[in-house]
C-alpha cells in the first residue's frame, strides 16, 4: 500500500516520539524523587505529616547554641518564631557562625529535630541566602 | 581619574562608530564587487576604542582610583598588583567590557580571515554582529557603566572577594569568554549564510574553524573553573552540578554537537537545519548563561550585584535576537529534500547523528535541572533545589550506549559501511568488559552498572589506542579528543568509586584514629601577610605506614573581612591527598576534612587532551 520509504520514515517518527515520551517520563520521575524543598522552622511546625524526603531548612543560627565535639556539631536554627535543633557531622563552612544565616540540608527526625547531611553558607559576608532572607522577612 | 574619563569617552565614541559601519555596509552591499576597505577600517577603529576603554579601566585599577565606582567596589590599596589587574574583569561591569572587547576583536579577525568568501556574506555577518555589539554597548553605558564617578573620592576601596584572588580564576573569565563570545560569530555567520542561501561545503569548512576556536576555549575555561573550585572552595570535587557550572556546560554540549554536525555538512552536505538550529542554540545558551549569572537569579560567587534592570535588559535583548533568528530560519531556509533519504543505517553520519541525539538529551537534562527551580519559584514561589542524584540518575545510564557509539562511529565509513574486517571491535569489547570486571572485583566494587560503564569507557579507550597504533596519521586529532574523553570518563568513574573521606573536629594536639588512617593535628602557627593573616595547621597523616605532612591554611583577609580556607593537596600520578581546615566560631575545635581522591590529576590531563585534539585539528586545517 505505502512505499518502503514512507514506512521507514513512519517508523523513524514513531521511534523518535517514543524516545521523547520515554525521556520526558524519566525526567519527571527523577525530578519528583530528587527535588529538595526549602522550609523555614515555622513551615516545619505546620507540616501535617513527616515523610522521609530530604529537605532544606534555612534561618539564623541562634545565639550561644553551637556545641561542638569530635564527632558532630549541634546548633539551633531559628526564624525568631520557631526553632529547630540540628545535629550535623561534616564539613563546616567558614562563614557558619552564630547569628548568621544558614541553610541545612538533611532529614527531619521529628518537628523539632533535624539531622543535617550538608550545611551551606555562601562566600560573602554580606550575602544572605535569598530563602533565608525571605523566611526572616515573612515573620 | 584621567584614565576613567578616557575609558568612558572611548566607550561612547566606540558606540558611535557603529553608525558609519552600518552606513558603509549597506551602501557597499549592492554597489560594488569587493568589500569596501572603509568597513574594515571602521571595525578596527571600534576595536581600538574598546581596547582603549578597557586599558583605561585597568589603569584605574592599578592606580587605585577610588573615584571610579567599579574600582571602589572591587579593589583595595593593599591588594597585590597582579590581583589589582585581574580584578578588572573580576566584577560585573569589567567583565561585560571584556565581553564587548572580545565581540569587537572577533568580528575584526573574521573580516580579515574571510577574504575569499562571498562579499555579501561577509557584510551581512558584520551587520548581525554589529546588532549584538550595539546591544552590549548600550547595556554597558546605560545600566552597568564601569566608569561611574563618585565624588568626593573615598580613601579606601571595599576590596575584592578573597576567593577570587587566585591565579586560575584570574584567567578563567577571559578564556571562558573567548568561548562564549566565539559563539556569537557562529550565530551571526549562520544567520547571514541562511538569508543568502550560502550554506554549503565551503561555508562549513570556513565556519568549522570558528566552532573549533570557541569549543577549545570553552573547554579550557570550564576546566580552569573546575580546577579552581577543587582547590579553592575546599569541596574536594571537580563538578557539583551547581547551576552556575551547568550554565557553562550547556553551551559546551550544544557546541560539541554543532562541531560534529558541521563535519557532516562539510563531508556530505547533510543536516544543514541541525547546524543552523544548533548555532542559534549555542549562542542563546551563552547569552542565557550571562543573563542567569549576572542578574542574580542564580546565586554564586559570580553574582556581583542583584540588579533586576540588568537582567531585564539582557532578557529583552535575548528575545529580540531569538525572534530575528527564528524569522530568518523559517523564511529563508530550504532543506534539500532528496538528501534526507540517503542516510544509510550503518555509516559514520548515522552514528554521529545518534550521538547528537544523546547529546541533546544530556543538554535537556541539564537545562531542566537548572531552570526548573527558577520556573517553580516564579509560578508557585515554592523553593527547591535539584541535586546531583537527579543528574547522575538521568545521565549515567545513557553514557553506556553513548560511549559505545563513540567507539564504533569513527571506525565506519561515510555514506555506507560494511562490517567486514571489523571483528576486532567485538574482541576489544569483550576484552574491555573482562578488564573492567577484574579491576572492580579486585577492589571489591562490583556492581552490574559499574562494570558495564567502566567496560564501555575502556572500550572507547582501547579502540582509540588501536587507532593510534594502526592508523597513525589518519584523523589523529579527532582520535586524540575521543581518547581524552575515554580517559576522562575512566578517571571520573574510578575517582567516584574509590574516593575516601574523613571528616572530624580536632583541637591542636589531638589525634584522629581509625583502623586505617591516623591524623594528628601537631601545631598551629600564625603568619602576617600583606593583605591577610594566615593560620597554618600542621598535620601528620599516617596511612599504611606511609607518612605525609599536610599544611592547610586559614586566611583572614583584612578587606573585605572574610575567612577563607586554603586546601593543602599532595598530588601524585595515582591519587591526590586533600585536606582542609575550617574554624568553628570561637571554639578550640577545628573542622578537618581529609580526602584521598584517586586519579584526580588525570581528570585535568584528559580534558587538556580533549582540547589539544581540537587545537591540533585547527592547526592542521584538516578534518577533525
**Residues of chain A with C-beta less than 8 angstroms from the C-beta of B587:** 66, 68
**Residues of chain B with C-beta less than 8 angstroms from the C-beta of A91:** 234-235, 503, 580, 582, 591, 593
Mean pLDDT across B28-46 = 86
Say how far apart CA B559 and CA B103 lie, in whole Å: 34
B68 and B149 in contact (C-beta within 8 Å)?
yes
3-state secondary structure B457-494: HHHHHHHHHHHHHHCCCCCHHHHHHHHHHHHHHHHHHH
**What are the φ and ψ backbone dihedral angles of B564, each rounded to 5 degrees?**
-125, 155
If asked whether residues A52 and A20 sit together in one domain, one would say no
CATH number at residue A125: 2.40.50.140
**What are the φ and ψ backbone dihedral angles of B144, each rounded to 5 degrees?**
-145, 55
Residue B144's pLDDT is what? 84
Q: 535576537: which residue's cell? A: B321
Q: What percent of chain B has pLDDT over 70?
A: 93
Q: A91, B582: Cβ pair inside 8 Å?
A: yes
If asked whether residues A108 and A129 sit together in one domain, one would say yes
Say how far apart CA B174 and CA B86 lie, in whole Å: 10
Mean pLDDT across B291-305 = 60
Helix (H) or strand (E) holding B165: none
Tally of domains within chain A:
2
B376 and B277 in contact (C-beta within 8 Å)?
no
B111 and B126 in contact (C-beta within 8 Å)?
yes
Label residue B216 by pLDDT band (50, 70, 90): very high
Q: B563, A94: Cβ pair inside 8 Å?
A: yes
**Residues of chain B with C-beta less than 8 angstroms from the C-beta of A71:** 504-505
CB contacts under 8 A, A 99-128 vs B, are 122-127
Residue B305's pLDDT is what? 47
Any residues with CB less than 8 A from the CB of A9 and at least 6 apart, and which? none
Q: B364, A27: Cβ pair inside 8 Å?
A: yes
Q: Is B563 on the interface with A (CB under 8 A)?
A: yes
**Residues of chain B with C-beta less than 8 angstroms from the C-beta of A117:** none
Any residues with CB less than 8 A from the CB of B469 and at least 6 apart, and which? none
**Residues of chain B with C-beta less than 8 angstroms from the C-beta of A19:** 357
Mean pLDDT across B582-601 = 84
Say how far apart CA B122 and CA B254 lie, in whole Å: 24
Q: Is B510 on the interface with A (CB under 8 A)?
A: yes
Interface residue of B505, B558, B565, B586 to substitute, partner A, most A CBs within 10 Å: B505
Residue A92's pLDDT is what? 81
Mean pLDDT across B54-67 = 93
pTM for the model:
0.89
Residue B604's pLDDT is what? 95
Q: A125, B561: Cβ pair inside 8 Å?
A: yes
Closest CA to A129 of A103, A105, A109: A103
Label residue A43 by pLDDT band (50, 70, 90): confident
Q: A26, B372: Cβ pair inside 8 Å?
A: no
B448 and B437 in contact (C-beta within 8 Å)?
no
The C-alpha cell at A136 is 526572616
**Angle between helix B37-62 and helix B119-143 axes, rounded to 10 deg:** 30
Q: 555589539: which residue's cell? A: B133
**Residues of chain B with C-beta less than 8 angstroms from the C-beta of A97:** 585
Shortest Cα distance, chain B CAs vs residue A82, angstroms = 19
Q: Is the pLDDT of residue B131 over 90?
A: yes
If asked whether residues A24 and A43 sit together in one domain, one would say no
Summarize pLDDT for B408-463 with one digit per residue, the tens.
888 888 877 677 777 888 888 999 999 998 888 888 777 888 889 999 999 999 99
Q: Cα dist. B544→B498, B569, B600 in Å?
A: 16, 19, 20
Residue B308's pLDDT is what? 64
Residue B212's pLDDT is what? 95
Q: Cα dist. B313→B308, B375, B413 in Å?
A: 9, 19, 48
Please state which of the ranges B133-137, B462-466, B531-535, B585-589 shows the lowest mean pLDDT. B585-589
If asked whether residues A106 and A50 sit together in one domain, one would say yes
Q: Is A92 on the interface with B (CB under 8 A)?
A: yes
Higher pLDDT, B381 or B362: B362
**Residues of chain B with C-beta less than 8 angstroms from the C-beta of A27:** 364-365, 368, 394
Closest CA to B567 of B236, B327, B314: B236
Strand-pair partners of B555: B534, B564
B556 and B542 in contact (C-beta within 8 Å)?
no
Say how far apart CA B96 and CA B146 lie, in whole Å: 9
Shortest Cα distance, chain B CAs vs residue A51, angstroms = 16
If asked whether residues A51 and A86 sit together in one domain, one would say yes
Residue B299's pLDDT is what? 56
Q: B393, A38: Cβ pair inside 8 Å?
A: no
Say how far apart CA A99 and CA B230 lie, in whole Å: 29
Say how far apart CA B610 and CA B485 lie, in whole Å: 6
Report the residue from A27, A66, A122 with minimal CB separation from B585: A66
If asked whether residues A96 and A124 sit together in one domain, one would say yes
Q: Is A4 on the interface with B (CB under 8 A)?
A: no
3-state secondary structure of B432: helix
Computed over every residue of chain B, the mean pLDDT equals 87
Strand-pair partners of B528: B533
Say how far apart CA B211 and CA B204 lie, in whole Å: 10
Q: Is the pLDDT of residue B109 over 90?
A: yes
Residue B138's pLDDT is what? 93
Shortest Cα distance, chain B CAs vs residue A81, angstroms = 20
Tell me which DSSP letter residue B149 carries: B
Mean pLDDT across B276-286 = 93
If asked whether residues A23 and A63 sit together in one domain, one would say no
The C-alpha cell at B228 is 579552581
Q: A73, B561: Cβ pair inside 8 Å?
A: no
Say how far apart CA B105 and CA B115 lie, in whole Å: 17
If asked whether residues A54 and A103 sit together in one domain, one would say yes
Torsion angle in degrees (nearest 10) through CA of B496, B497, B500, B501 = 50
Interface residue of A64, A87, A94, A134 to substitute, partner B, most B CBs within 10 Å: A94
Label residue B485 by pLDDT band (50, 70, 90): very high
Domain residue limits at A7: 1-34
**Angle between helix B92-113 and helix B37-62 axes, rounded to 10 deg:** 150
- Residues B74-104 as b or e (16 or more Cβ within 10 Å = b): bbbebbeeebbbbbbbbbbbbbbbbbbbbbb
Shortest Cα distance, chain B CAs vs residue A74, angstroms = 12
Q: Is the pLDDT of residue A123 over 60?
A: no
A95: nearest CA partner in chain B: B563
**Residues of chain B with C-beta less than 8 angstroms from the C-beta of A129:** 299
**What are the φ and ψ backbone dihedral angles of B570, each rounded to 5 degrees?**
-100, 110
Say how far apart CA B266 and CA B275 lie, in whole Å: 11
**Residues of chain B with C-beta less than 8 angstroms from the C-beta of A69:** 505, 589
If asked whether residues A21 and A88 sit together in one domain, one would say no
Strand-pair partners of A114: A86, A108
Interface residue of B584, B586, B594 to substitute, partner A, most A CBs within 10 Å: B584
The C-alpha cell at A117 is 547531611
DSSP string covering A23-87, please? Answer: HHHHHHHHHHHHEEEEE-HHHHHH-SS--S--EEEEEEEPTT--EE-SS-EEEEEE-SS-EEEEE
The C-alpha cell at B141 is 553605558
Closest CA to B335 of B527, B194, B209, B450: B194
Mean pLDDT across A38-53 = 81
If asked whether residues A81 and A133 sit together in one domain, one would say yes
Q: A70, B510: Cβ pair inside 8 Å?
A: yes
- State the CB neighbour count (10 A cutoff) for residue B281: 24
Closest CA to A66 of A98, A89, A93, A94: A98
Closest CA to A55 of B244, B387, B394: B387
Q: A30, B554: Cβ pair inside 8 Å?
A: no
Q: A91, B503: Cβ pair inside 8 Å?
A: yes
**What is the interface size between A and B, counted as CB pairs within 8 Å?**
110
Beta strands in B529-574 (DSSP E): 532-543, 546-550, 553-557, 563-566, 568-571
If asked whether residues A116 and A62 sit together in one domain, one would say yes
Say how far apart CA B349 and CA B414 lie, in whole Å: 6
Shortest Cα distance, chain B CAs vs residue A15, angstroms = 12
Q: B384, A30: Cβ pair inside 8 Å?
A: no
Q: Is B298 on the interface with A (CB under 8 A)?
A: no
If asked whether residues A103 and A134 sit together in one domain, one would say yes
ipTM of the assembly? 0.73
Please confirm whether the linkage preceding B75 is cis (ω < 30° from 0).
no
Summarize pLDDT for B171-212 with one digit per residue, the tens.
998 999 899 999 999 999 999 999 998 888 899 999 999 999
Q: Is B390 on the interface with A (CB under 8 A)?
A: yes
**Residues of chain B with C-beta less than 8 angstroms from the C-beta of A33:** 389-390, 393
Q: Is the pLDDT of residue B338 over 70?
A: no
Amino acid at each position: 500500500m505505502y512505499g518502503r520509504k514512507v514506512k521507514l520514515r513512519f517508523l523513524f517518527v514513531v521511534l523518535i516520539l517514543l524516545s521523547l515520551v520515554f525521556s520526558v517520563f524519566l525526567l519527571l520521575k527523577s525530578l519528583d524523587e530528587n527535588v529538595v524543598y526549602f522550609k523555614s522552622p515555622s513551615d516545619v511546625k505546620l507540616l501535617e505529616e513527616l515523610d522521609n524526603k530530604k529537605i532544606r531548612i534555612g534561618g539564623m543560627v541562634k545565639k550561644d547554641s553551637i556545641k561542638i565535639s569530635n564527632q558532630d556539631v549541634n546548633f539551633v536554627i531559628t526564624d525568631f518564631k520557631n526553632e529547630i535543633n540540628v545535629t550535623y557531622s561534616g564539613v563546616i563552612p567558614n562563614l557558619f557562625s552564630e547569628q548568621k544565616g544558614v541553610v541545612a540540608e538533611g532529614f527531619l527526625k521529628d518537628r523539632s529535630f533535624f539531622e543535617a547531611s550538608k550545611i551551606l553558607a555562601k562566600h560573602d559576608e554580606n550575602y544572605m541566602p535569598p530563602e533565608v532572607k525571605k523566611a526572616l522577612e515573612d515573620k | 581619574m584621567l584614565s576613567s574619563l578616557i575609558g568612558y569617552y572611548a566607550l561612547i565614541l566606540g558606540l558611535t562608530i557603529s553608525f558609519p559601519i552600518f552606513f558603509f555596509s549597506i551602501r557597499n552591499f549592492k554597489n560594488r564587487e569587493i568589500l569596501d576597505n572603509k568597513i574594515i577600517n571602521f571595525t578596527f577603529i571600534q576595536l581600538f576604542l574598546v581596547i582603549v576603554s578597557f586599558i583605561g579601566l585597568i589603569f584605574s585599577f592599578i592606580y587605585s582610583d577610588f573615584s571610579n565606582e567599579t574600582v571602589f567596589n572591587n579593589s583595595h590599596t593593599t591588594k597585590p598588583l597582579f590581583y589589582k589587574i585581574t580584578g578588572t574583569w573580576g566584577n560585573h561591569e569589567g567583565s561585560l567590557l571584556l565581553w564587548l572587547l572580545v565581540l569587537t576583536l572577533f568580528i575584526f579577525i573574521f573580516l580579515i580571515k574571510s577574504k575569499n568568501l562571498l562579499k555579501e556574506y561577509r557584510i551581512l555577518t558584520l551587520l548581525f554582529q554589529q546588532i549584538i555589539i550595539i546591544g552590549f554597548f548600550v547595556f554597558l553605558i546605560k545600566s552597568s557603566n564601569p566608569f561611574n564617578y563618585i565624588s568626593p573620592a573615598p580613601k579606601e576601596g571595599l576590596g575584592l572577594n578573597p576567593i577570587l584572588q587566585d591565579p586560575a580564576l584570574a584567567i578563567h573569565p577571559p578564556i571562558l569568554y573567548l568561548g562564549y563570545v566565539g559563539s556569537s560569530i557562529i550565530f551571526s555567520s549562520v544567520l547571514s549564510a541562511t538569508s543568502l542561501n550560502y550554506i554549503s561545503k565551503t561555508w562549513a569548512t570556513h565556519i568549522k574553524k570558528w566552532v573549533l576556536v570557541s569549543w577549545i576555549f570553552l573547554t579550557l575555561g570550564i576546566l580552569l573553573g573546575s580546577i579552581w573550585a577543587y582547590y579553592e572552595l575546599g569541596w574536594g570535587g571537580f563538578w557539583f552540578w551547581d547551576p552556575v557550572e551547568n550554565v557553562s556546560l550547556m553551551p559546551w554540549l550544544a557546541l560539541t554537537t554543532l562541531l560534529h554536525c558541521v563535519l557532516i555538512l562539510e563531508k556530505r552536505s547533510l543536516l544543514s537545519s541541525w547546524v543552523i538550529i544548533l548555532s542559534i542554540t549555542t549562542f542563546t545558551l551563552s547569552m542565557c548563561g550571562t543573563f542567569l549569572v549576572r542578574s542574580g537569579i542564580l546565586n554564586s560567587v559570580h553574582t556581583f550585584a542583584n540588579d533586576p534592570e540588568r537582567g531585564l535588559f539582557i532578557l529583552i535583548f535575548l528575545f529580540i535576537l531569538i525572534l530575528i533568528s527564528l524569522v530568518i530560519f523559517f523564511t529563508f531556509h530550504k532543506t534539500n529534500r532528496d538528501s534526507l533519504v540517503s542516510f544509510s543505517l550503518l555509516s559514520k553520519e548515522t552514528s554521529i547523528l545518534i550521538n547528537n541525539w544523546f547529546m541533546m538529551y544530556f543538554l535537556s537534562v541539564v537545562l531542566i535541572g537548572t531552570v526548573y527551580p527558577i520556573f517553580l519559584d516564579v509560578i508557585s514561589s515554592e523553593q527547591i533545589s535539584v541535586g546531583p542524584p537527579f543528574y547522575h540518575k538521568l545521565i549515567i545510564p545513557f553514557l553506556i550506549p553513548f560511549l559505545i557509539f563513540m567507539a564504533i562511529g569513527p571506525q565506519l565509513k561515510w555514506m555506507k559501511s560494511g562490517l567486514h574486517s571489523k571483528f576486532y571491535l567485538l574482541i576489544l569489547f569483550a576484552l574491555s568488559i573482562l578488564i573492567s570486571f577484574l579491576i572492580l572485583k579486585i577492589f571489591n566494587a562490583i556492581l552490574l552498572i559499574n562494570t558495564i560503564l567502566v567496560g564501555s569507557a575502556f572500550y572507547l579507550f582501547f579502540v582509540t589506542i588501536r587507532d593510534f597504533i594502526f592508523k597513525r596519521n589518519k584523523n589523529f586529532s579527532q582520535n586524540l579528543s575521543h581518547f581524552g574523553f575515554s580517559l576522562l570518563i575512566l578517571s571520573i568513574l574510578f575517582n567516584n568509586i574509590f574516593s575516601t573521606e574523613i571528616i572530624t573536629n580536632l583541637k591542636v594536639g589531638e589525634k584522629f584514629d581509625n583502623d586505617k588512617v591516623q591524623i594528628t593535628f601537631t601545631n598551629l602557627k600564625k603568619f602576617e601577610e600583606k593583605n591577610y593573616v594566615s593560620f597554618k595547621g600542621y598535620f601528620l597523616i599516617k596511612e599504611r605506614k606511609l607518612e605525609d605532612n599536610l599544611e592547610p591554611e586559614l586566611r583572614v583577609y583584612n578587606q573585605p573581612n572574610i575567612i577563607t580556607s586554603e586546601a593543602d593537596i599532595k598530588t601524585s600520578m595515582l591519587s591526590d591527598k586533600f585536606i582542609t581546615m575550617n574554624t568553628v566560631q570561637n571554639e578550640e575545635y577545628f573542622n578537618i576534612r581529609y580526602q584521598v581522591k584517586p586519579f584526580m590529576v588525570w581528570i585535568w590531563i584528559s580534558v587538556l587532551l580533549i582540547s589539544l585534539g581540537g587545537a591540533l585539528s585547527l592547526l592542521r586545517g584538516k578534518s577533525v
